[in-house]
Amino acid sequence: MKFGGTSVANIDRISRAAKRVALEVAKGHDVIVIVSAMAGETNKLVGFVGETAPLYDAREYDAVTSSGENVTAGLMALRLQEMDIPARSWQGWQVPVQTNSAHGAARIEAIPTDNILRKFGEGMRVAVVAGFQGISPEGRITTLGRGGSDTTAVAFAAAFDAVRCDIYTDVDGVYTTDPRICDKARKLDRIAFEEMLELASLGAKVLQTRSVELAMRYKVRLRVLSSFEEPSESAGTLVCDEEDIMESNVVSGIAHSRDEAKMTLISVADRPGIAAAIFTPLAEAGVNVDMIVQNISEDGRTDMTFSCPTDQVMRAEQAMRAAKDAGAINFHDLVADTGVCKISVVGIGMRSHAGVAAQMFRALASEGINIKVITTSEIKISVLIDRRYMELAVQALHDTFGLDKAA
Ligand code: ADP
Ligand code: ASP
Ligand code: MG
Say yes or no: 138 and 265 in one domain.
no
Of 191, 212, 245, the one marking the end of a domain is 245
Q: Measured from the CB, is residue 224 less than 6 Å from ligand 1?
A: no
Q: Measured from the CB, is residue 204 less than 6 Å from ligand 1?
A: yes
Q: Measured from the CB, is residue 171 less than 6 Å from ligand 1?
A: yes
Say yes or no: 156 and 15 in one domain.
yes
Dihedrals φ, ψ of 82, to 5°?
-60, -25
Cα-to-centroid distance, 224 and ligand 3 (Å)? 11
Q: Is residue 334 part of a domain?
A: yes
Q: Is residue 185 part of a domain?
A: yes
Say yes or no: 290 and 155 in one domain.
no
- Tell me the per-residue pLDDT of 144-201, one tens digit each, with 9 for 90 and over: 999 999 999 999 999 999 999 999 999 999 999 999 999 999 999 999 999 999 999 9
pLDDT band at 314 (very low <50, low <70, confident <90, very high): very high
What is the number of helices (H) and of strands (E) in the chain? Answer: 12, 18
| CATH code of the domain in which 124 resides | 3.40.1160.10
Q: Is residue 136 part of a domain?
A: yes
Of 245, 267, 285, the one marking the end of a domain is 245
Say yes or no: 238 and 262 in one domain.
no
| Domains: count for the chain | 2
The share of the chain scoring above pLDDT 70, in percent, equals 100
* Ligand nearest to the Cα of 170, by number: 1
Residue 221: give the domain boundaries: 2-245
Check: CB of residue 197 under 8 Å from CB of residue 216. Answer: yes
Say yes or no: 231 and 380 in one domain.
no
Cα-to-centroid distance, 108 and ligand 1 (Å)? 23
Residues near 104 by beta carbon (within 8 Å), at least 6 away in sequence: 58, 61, 62, 143, 145
| CATH code of the domain in which 374 resides | 3.30.2130.10
DSSP letter at 232 equals -
State how far the Cα of 377 lies from the Cα of 364, in Å rounded to an integer. Answer: 19
Burial 330-343 (b: 16+ CB within 10 A, else e): ebeeeeebeebbbb
Say yes or no: 240 and 299 in one domain.
no
- In this structure, the strands spanning 2-3 and 31-35 are parallel
3-state helix, strand, coil in the chain (%, to 5): 40, 25, 35
Query: Within a 13 Å sphere around the CA of 261, how many CA atoms are in the beta-carbon half?
Result: 20
Say yes or no: 33 and 96 in one domain.
yes
DSSP letter at 255 equals E
Q: Is residue 405 part of a domain?
A: no
Check: CB of residue 133 under 8 Å from CB of residue 141. Answer: yes
Say yes or no: 304 and 232 in one domain.
no
Q: Measured from the CB, is residue 17 less than 6 Å from ligand 1?
A: no
Q: Measured from the CB, is residue 131 less than 6 Å from ligand 1?
A: no
Say yes or no: 19 and 73 in one domain.
yes
Say yes or no: 263 and 202 in one domain.
no
Of 245, 276, 294, the one marking the end of a domain is 245
CB count within 10 Å of CB 257 equals 21
Of the candidates 187, 196, 173, 183, which has an alpha carbon nearest to the alpha carbon of residue 380? 196
State how far the Cα of 52 lies from the Cα of 329, in Å rounded to an integer. Answer: 36
Cα-to-centroid distance, 205 and ligand 1 (Å)? 5
Say yes or no: 309 and 330 in one domain.
yes
Q: How many residues does this entry show for the chain?
A: 407
- Tell me the per-residue pLDDT of 341-386, one tens digit each, with 9 for 90 and over: 999 999 999 999 999 999 999 999 999 999 999 999 999 999 999 9
SS3 call for 78: helix
Say yes or no: 209 and 352 in one domain.
no
